[in-house]
Amino acid sequence: MKAAPARSAKDLRLSFEFFPPKTAEAEGQLWETAAALAAYRPEFLSVTYGAGGSTKAPTLATVRHLIQTMRLPAAAHLTCVGATKAEVNAVVADFQAVGVRHFVALRGDPPGGVGTPYRPHPGGYANAAELVAGLSAIADFEISVSAYPEKHPQSPDVAADIDMLKRKVDAGATRALTQFFFDNDHYERYRDRVRAAGIAIPIVPGILPVHNLAQVQKFAGLCGATVPAWLASRLAPVDDRPQERMAVAVDLAARQVEDLVARGVGEFHFYTMNRATLVSAVCDRVGFAKAGLRATGAAA
């Protein structure tokens, strides 16, 4: 990998992704994680939204707590699968009411699950571009969208992916967050093609520090990402030795970020798995700016 150039930590921007907790114990862990990562002064913390609105209530409760209690900038994921436009707009109004001004607009997985055919809901937003247009018509939201350096698994090719991204940008998207990847060449080739297509919004790389190799390999298989053999060969031998596994995972993720910085990237989106230790270690290793202050209300 390329060596990272001298840089100022303040020039690197961060965001973190969480999923809504399912138990009281998981909820407490999430608030502790958010408080710990808030020290890196993220641009925003995003909270995922289950297929067909299955996590609407916990997603709403999570972003409400982050915004109103912890005073942190939070973005709500939003999908349009399995709902009419009126139903989606009602969800948007609920999020607005708790202070959400930033959405991560996604089509969402088909109701039958990943790998099954996608059919737009009658009377609904047909795809993410239409959802972005709908959000833009409601208010002047900040709107992030998805991007796929290795191609969306349901797209015929990368060109179709980039065409959809352009449609989302034309509809009002202001940032693209990529699916996780481990080979930075995939990202750089994709970014070059995006720029050649006249798309100027930030293409923010999604970084997934590996907590569990088998789990990541499963995720990758579902979303069309690649887990390189060299990464698996580094992690597999230490899979049953937690301290060594964490050290290797930190090294791999930090090297990936540093190489991306060398390629001109200044903004990163971390998939946290609702845990702070590994992500914090990567951020410290890279040298992201740290405020040294925790958010308030973590245990409220």
Catalytic machinery residues: 17
Please tell me the distance from the alpha carbon of residue 250 to that of residue 281, in angstroms, as a whole number: 6
Instruction: Tell me the HSE value of 115 on the side-chain side, using a 13 A CA sphere.
Output: 4
Contact 98, 63 (CB under 8 A): yes
68 φ, ψ (degrees, to nearest 5):
-85, -35
Helices (H), 102-241: 128-138, 158-171, 184-196, 213-223, 229-235
Distance, first Cα to last Cα, the chain: 44
DSSP 294: P
Burial status of residue 34 (CB atoms within 10 A of its CB: 0-12, 13-18, 19 or more): buried
Q: Please give the C-alpha separations between residue 213 and each of 64, 69, 190, 274, in angstroms, as whole numbers.
A: 33, 35, 25, 17
Grouping H, G, I as helix, E, B as strand and the rest as coil, residue 271 is strand
* Beta strand residue intervals within the chain, DSSP E: 13-18, 44-47, 74-79, 102-106, 142-147, 175-180, 203-207, 267-271
Return the H-helix or E-strand segment holding 61. Answer: helix 56-64
Q: Are 45 and 15 in contact (CB under 8 A)?
A: yes
